[in-house]
Structure 1
């Protein structure tokens, strides 16, 4: 551990805690903690002359701790297991359709923009959590570092714009809102939709994990079919 690791972790935690307080005081999709904290941390690190390479050890430590922290997502799922069981069948169909649609739309959009095959393959995994996205991208010829960037970008946009879009199309059912956000915006979106209520958070947590499993299974089969 070098001399910048602990200060970088400390800065990140302080900024994120402040971002959470800001979101609670001024609740809005545009005060999503991950969005405001990311922007502030980038500004701070740039002003201090700390490169991403120097920040990486701190990032690795915090990423490692995300594993145990993720277990906490099981708590709202357990507390809302009855409603999840009652709507499990339509939820499975929604997950399948949502996952396939996300992969297909990403590949077709990047193809329409004239981007490279590797770029198209990388975009296909943008909706799942980072560890799964990195490994899945390798299977279809994508770029792992770029896949991680896509995942973070998709998560932030989903957290900020997802609830707004769902409200605009008059989707108010807590179960449906959680399912939609968890399917396309993984952990970042889940952290935001969880603020709406326990049902949204529980369903989004379940959808996030299920979407990652579905993607890892079907991606090697579906990608050759949609990439032509």
Structure 2
């Protein structure tokens, strides 16, 4: 029975994503972004199918495992465009540093504005780094792992939905800049979304996602206590 549920879950997830891609191409909108639309549709289908999250988790783990090879595959376009990356190395480092610190500051300012507890504030501060890294950093800064996972997912989804339209509105068209922005603020989900625009965008976003996670994990244990007193 579990095997059938797993196969059903895998097939449903793949088909829903493919349908979402078609819908996004025909009706472009932040709310037809595949990551948002497919997530919503899958939740609805699972509810009507009476499949629990625990039962779906096996299929989820299989797909998560495949993310490893998919991420490593970003090295191919990165190698092809390595000279572009090297020529823009200094601006990229500056942009990534400013972007990473800005996401932390904005999260903490919002949390303080709404008078949220320090636990929530700490959990929000690492919303822009990928979940595996954020989960480990949460132990160091005393954040709640469940809240962290929720904030990271919401950030990635919002980044994928609204990042490209906002950059279009601001006339940010350079592939390098678009990839760097999405990878820095919206980790894996944003990287997957911007990678659809082109190889260079995906490769740069992949680098930015990894470097932003490393940078944030090194800075946040020292920066957070200072900001909490601010």
2:182 — aligned with what? 181
Q: Under a length normalisation based on structure 1, what TM-score does the superposition of the two structures give?
A: 0.93
1:162-201 aligned at under 5 Å gives the runs: 162-201=163-202
1:32 — aligned with what? 33
Q: CA offsets, 1:91-136, max 9 Å, x none?
A: 1011111101101111221121121111111111111111011111
Shift of 1:28: 4.1
Shift of 1:141: 1.0
2:2/2:55 contact within 8 Å kept: no
Change (3 A) 1:175 1:210: same
> Quick one: distance in 1 between partners of 2:202 and 2:158?
18
Q: Under a length normalisation based on structure 2, what TM-score does the superposition of the two structures give?
A: 0.92
2:80 — aligned with what? 79
Q: Which runs of 4+ in 1 moved over 6 A?
A: none
2:155 — aligned with what? 154
> Quick one: distance in 2 between partners of 1:178 and 1:103?
20
2:126 — aligned with what? 125
Q: CA offsets, 1:186-207, max 9 Å, x none?
A: 1111122122222222211111
Shift of 1:10: 2.1
2:70 — aligned with what? 69
Moved more, 187-196 or 77-86: 187-196
Count of residue pairs brought into register by the alignment: 228
Change (3 A) 1:201 1:148: same
2:12 — aligned with what? 11
2:120/2:144 contact within 8 Å kept: yes
Q: CA offsets, 1:136-182, max 9 Å, x none?
A: 11211111122112111111111111111112222222211211111
2:71/2:206 contact within 8 Å kept: no
> Quick one: distance in 1 between partners of 2:120 and 2:138?
10
Point out where structure 2 has 5 or more consecutive residues left out of the alignment.
Answer: none
> Quick one: distance in 2 between partners of 1:81 and 1:164?
27
Change (3 A) 1:81 1:27: farther
Aligned CA RMSD, in angstroms, stands at 1.7
